Structure 1
Amino acid sequence: MRATSRLLASATSATRSGGGLRPEPMALLPPIPLYRRLLRAHRKHLPSQMRVLGDEYVKTEFRAHRKVDNPAHLIGFLTEWQLYAQKIEGDSWIGEKLDQAKIEKMSDEQVGQLYELMQAIKKQREEDGL
């Protein structure tokens, strides 16, 4: 009887502390561990040609954002890369289309980078005969 009341008390305290149906906020990884996680995910989950392209892109982006001081920009950058890592690790990225809202928020430079990435992927596929 005591064990049951203890379990009930722990269950009610868990629901009060936010353990209900609402998902817990994702803790952001610091830049270097996230960078390593991305490269590991590429090594484990991507074919070799895609891995080379992905690794170069990750390295370039992290170098370009090395000296960012704006906290909002940094949080957005790390959040998107962490979501990307989770998708790569879960193989849910295959066949997924980009969210239109995210594309609308992109600058002209970012859209240009996205276009260049698409062209590089198409070129790689043509070389592989797919």
Structure 2
Amino acid sequence: MRPSVCLLASAMSSAKGMSPGPMALLPPIHLYRRLLRAHRKHLPPEMRLLGDEYVKAEFRAHRNVENPVHMIGFLTEWQLYAQKIEGDAWVGERLDPGKVEKMSDEQLAQLYELMKAIQKRGTEEGQDGS
């Protein structure tokens, strides 16, 4: 991710005159490390592997994004995800329908692929345990 995006993220979290948000936005590298640490501490090994691969691919795909609004949304959503993982608030939670409606066709396809990968791992585990 471009250094200017890192500066923007830090500026947005500490800008004076703006109403303070519920959280300070972490720079991309710090957030990336936090996500991998959260996976290591709070997820079972099989979920950690899938989650780590997904996080790495997403951050790699967004490395050269220059649109600051897109980057702030990206970082905000990943930071919310990290907070949920660290607090175990994700167990049994459903996706927000409003967020699903805003997703592009590409994002919906990616979400579907993720769902299939999770289901595939679940059936593989079920067969191993039989």
Query: What TM-score do you get using the length of structure 2 for normalisation?
Result: 0.81
Task: Tell me, in whole angstroms, the C-alpha distance in 1 between the residues paired with 2:64 and 2:21.
Answer: 30
Task: Tell me, in whole angstroms, the C-alpha distance in 1 between the residues paired with 2:23 and 2:57.
Answer: 25
| Alignment of 1:93 onto 2:113 | no
Q: Which runs of 5+ in 1 are unaligned?
A: 1-22
Deviation at 1:117, TM superposition (A): 0.2
Q: Deviations over 1:97-121 (max 9, x none)?
A: 0000000000000000000000000
Structure 2 counterpart of 1:127: 124
Task: Tell me, in whole angstroms, the C-alpha distance in 1 between the residues paired with 2:23 and 2:89.
Answer: 18
Deviation at 1:53, TM superposition (A): 0.2
Task: Tell me, in whole angstroms, the C-alpha distance in 2 between the residues paired with 1:58 and 1:127.
Answer: 22
RMSD: 1.6
Stretches of 4+ moved more than 3 A in 1? none
Distance 1:106 1:24, change over 3 A: closer
Equivalent residue for 2:22, pick from 22, 25, 32: 25
Query: What TM-score do you get using the length of structure 1 for normalisation?
Result: 0.81
Counterpart secondary structure, 1:95:
coil
Q: Which runs of 5+ in 2 are unaligned?
A: 1-19
